[in-house]
Amino acid sequence: MTVFDPSAPHRLRTHKETGSVREVFRLTHQAKAQAVVREHPGIAAIGHVRYATSGRDQVEYAQPFERPHSRTWKWFSLGFNGNLANYPELRDHLTDERGYHMVHGVDTEILIHHVAYALRGEEKPQLVDVFAELTETLDGAYNIVFLNGDGDFVAARDPLGFRPLCYGRKGDLFAVASESVALHNMGIDDIVDVEPGQMVRVDYETREIHVERFTEARSHRHCFFEWVYFAHVSSDLDGSSVYDARWRLGEHLARDEHVSMGDDCVVVAVPDTAKPIGDAFAYSMNVRSLEGIVRNRYVGRTFIEGNDRAEKVRRKYTLLPSVMRDKRVFLVEDSLVRSTTLRDLIHRTRVEGKASEVHVRIGSPPVIAPCFYGIDMSTLNELFAPHYLGMDYTRSDLDRVCREMAERLGADSLRYLPVEDVGPSIGLPHESLCTACVTGSYPTPTGSRIYADEMGREPDRGDGRAFERTVSK
């Protein structure tokens, strides 16, 4: 968190540590939490919770990144949600042509340097022009919050709108967040989505809110994975309810079901994200949906937490044999990316749950391609489905390989949501969504080039995230 205090010698002060928000701000200890607030007074602040798609899980990589300067309008702090697909080119341009030195080697540092360069000169520029200059070189997803030593605040959304961004006001309080649920929890009801290519600027002196377009939005490409997995179930993203979208995913999944149901069947959703999908699937199939898997609330989300996923899976879930014993269990999951979580749960459903059969149903299409726009699945080799499916697979291809995939997972059967059901489930036109990870069709030039480079690489080469390598031209 970075706070702005116009009366302090250090107009911007940044507090960051590793750990959850509760841990970093000492929220379980009232006196310690109040001490953090006292040490960081101010009238404006930006905050960031890091989901690492580059760099290490260490405190120096936590955001916001602050760049001090003796001129207050050049002294700023920045938080970033997304991923720069053309990171290597941007890095090389900064180091080789502009003489910058990279300390952390992450895309947030790239943004810091580019913003600093746009602020060059003796005259304070208009911030809308600063952000317009960024779009001339950036390829990827980038929602940015910015706060400078003059108290100017900006929240900006990239021209394709990959990640959600919204804002609202309640009295003198202005707030912006990635998801509407954060604003609802602050008592803000009139919530507005920032449009792709727009920025919201708040002037410190006048407290006025200015919504400005810093670049044209060529077309929208909202990440469909936000509705499937990433977003909180009570959020609304770009006018579409996450809960309603997940319910419709379950309805569409049920329409494609071929296994006959009976009294010995039970639907068990993998908590928590898949629960609306599982409930809708069960309701549509007229079978019971029961809580056969209980999540340990003190273990984080295994997809988001990068290291030692297998061990986290074992500690994360407790199974209830009383729900599963001698039942045909339909295990419903929101997505199947690496198979680490699902493979373990299928085995435990048989061994610990004593299920007679385990049928797996996935509320999204097969993930056949990496993501270069902010979801940490950036190489082909780490994904489960590409070992069985190519980019141009047909429904008959999928039906055939699902039997092989089910056998590999240890399940009796496996079915995915068809790609054509994604748009209707979310409630947005298919062409307004980024579905690159399930189609192999990327909305930006660099994404397409990196994917082509990945397709031409030898398997099992542990060379790190694809977008951090130099892309073949």
**Per-residue pLDDT tens digits for 220-264:** 999 999 999 999 999 999 999 999 999 999 999 999 999 999 999
C-alpha distances (whole Å) from 391 to each of 1, 221, 388 are 42, 20, 10
Instruction: Report the pLDDT value the prediction gives residue 19, as an integer from 0 to 100.
Output: 82
The mean predicted confidence, pLDDT, of the chain is 92
The whole-number average pLDDT for the span 407-433 is 97
Which residues are CB-contacts of 141 (< 8 A; sequence separation ≥ 6)?
81, 82, 83, 158, 160, 162, 163, 223, 373, 374
Q: Which CATH code fits 226-440?
A: 3.40.50.2020
The whole-number average pLDDT for the span 21-31 is 86
CATH architecture of the domain 2-218 equals: 4-Layer Sandwich (3.60)
In this predicted model, what pLDDT tens digit does every residue of 109-147 receive, in sequence order? 999 999 999 999 999 999 999 999 999 999 999 999 999
The whole-number average pLDDT for the span 33-49 is 89
Cis before residue 64, ω within 30 degrees of 0?
yes
- The shares of helix, strand and coil residues in the chain, as percent rounded to the nearest 5, are 35, 20, 45
Are residues 94 and 65 in contact, defined by beta-carbon separation less than 8 angstroms? no
In this predicted model, what pLDDT tens digit does every residue of 333-389 receive, in sequence order? 999 999 999 999 999 999 999 999 999 999 999 999 999 999 989 899 999 999 999
Instruction: Report the pLDDT value the prediction gives residue 218, as an integer from 0 to 100.
Output: 78
Q: Which residues of 325-346 are buried (b: 16+ CB within 10 A; e: fewer)?
A: eebbbbbbbbbbbbbbbbbbbb
Q: Which residue has the higher pLDDT, 58 or 150?
A: 150
Instruction: Report the pLDDT value the prediction gives residue 378, as an integer from 0 to 100.
Output: 84
Instruction: Report the pLDDT value the prediction gives residue 167, as an integer from 0 to 100.
Output: 98
In this predicted model, what pLDDT tens digit does every residue of 57-71 receive, in sequence order? 678 889 999 999 999
Give start-end residues of each CATH 3.60.20.10 domain in the chain: 2-218
Give start-end residues of each CATH 3.40.50.2020 domain in the chain: 226-440
Instruction: In whole angstroms, give the CA distance from residue 165 to residue 195.
Output: 8
Output the CA torsion sign for 328, 334, 339, 340.
negative
pTM for the whole structure: 0.90
Q: Tokens standing for 152?
A: 């100017």
C-alpha distances (whole Å) from 157 to each of 2, 81, 217, 412 are 20, 10, 10, 44
- Is residue 472 over pLDDT 70? no
pLDDT-derived band of residue 54, with 50, 70 and 90 as boundaries? low
Q: Which residue has the higher pLDDT, 376 or 77?
A: 77
In this predicted model, what pLDDT tens digit does every residue of 299-319 receive, in sequence order? 655 555 555 556 777 789 999
Q: Which residue has the higher pLDDT, 178 or 465?
A: 178
C-alpha distances (whole Å) from 397 to each of 382, 388, 391, 407 are 21, 9, 11, 16
Instruction: Report the pLDDT value the prediction gives residue 22, as an integer from 0 to 100.
Output: 85
The rounded percent of the chain whose pLDDT value lies above 90 is 78
Instruction: Report the pLDDT value the prediction gives residue 355, as an integer from 0 to 100.
Output: 98
Instruction: In whole angstroms, give the CA distance from residue 349 to residue 331.
Output: 9
pLDDT-derived band of residue 471, with 50, 70 and 90 as boundaries? very low
- Is residue 463 over pLDDT 90? no
Instruction: Report the pLDDT value the prediction gives residue 473, as an integer from 0 to 100.
Output: 36
The whole-number average pLDDT for the span 74-82 is 97
- Is residue 424 over pLDDT 80? yes
